Amino acid sequence: MPMLADIDDPRPSRARGFLIGAAIAVPVGLLFWWFASSWLPGLILGNAVEYDARLRQEDAYMQAVCANMDLARDQSLCECVLAVEYPSLDCRLPFMHWSLVQMVDQCSDEAVFEQSLSFCSCVRSLDEQLGAVAPDTKEARQIVQTYAGCTELADALFLPPVGEL
């Protein structure tokens, strides 16, 4: 419904504003489309390939550990690994807990501790936190899951070869 002010002073055309907005939005949209269609799928697929390769390595490692199982050390891990088809997916938490225990043993050597100060400090801290909570609780699982953050540190240690276990 037109107002008296609109009759005396009509609104300016919106075509100029629309053209300015389109001149800005179209190049930005094309830039986003180029980014999303060319670079992003490669990034996603590359990360998926790396993740898949890491899981295959973990599968092979877990199966090798369980093939040469030391019952006292590897029982909790191998109960899961031997029961499933894809241990790196289905046995993630037991493997992380087992890895944490192995790294605590490895970091108990003072020379190794000095070489990997931040990683070993992280591992020792998680081990102390695990000792303070009851096993098989939600808190214990959350502590074990934070071990993945320790492995991303710059001075992180790798699990020993299966022959050295």
Domain spans in the chain, listed from the N-terminal domain onward: 27-158
Q: What are the pLDDT digits (tens) for 23-43?
A: 999 999 999 998 888 888 877
pTM of the model: 0.70
Cα 57 to Cα 67: distance, rounded to the nearest angstrom: 15
Cα 133 to Cα 138: distance, rounded to the nearest angstrom: 10
* Confidence at residue 87, expressed as pLDDT on a 0 to 100 scale: 87
For 130, phi and psi rounded to 5 degrees? Answer: -65, -35
* Confidence at residue 126, expressed as pLDDT on a 0 to 100 scale: 92
Residues 6+ apart with CB under 8 A from 62: 77, 81, 87, 88, 91, 95
* Confidence at residue 3, expressed as pLDDT on a 0 to 100 scale: 67
Residues of the chain with pLDDT under 70: 1-7, 10
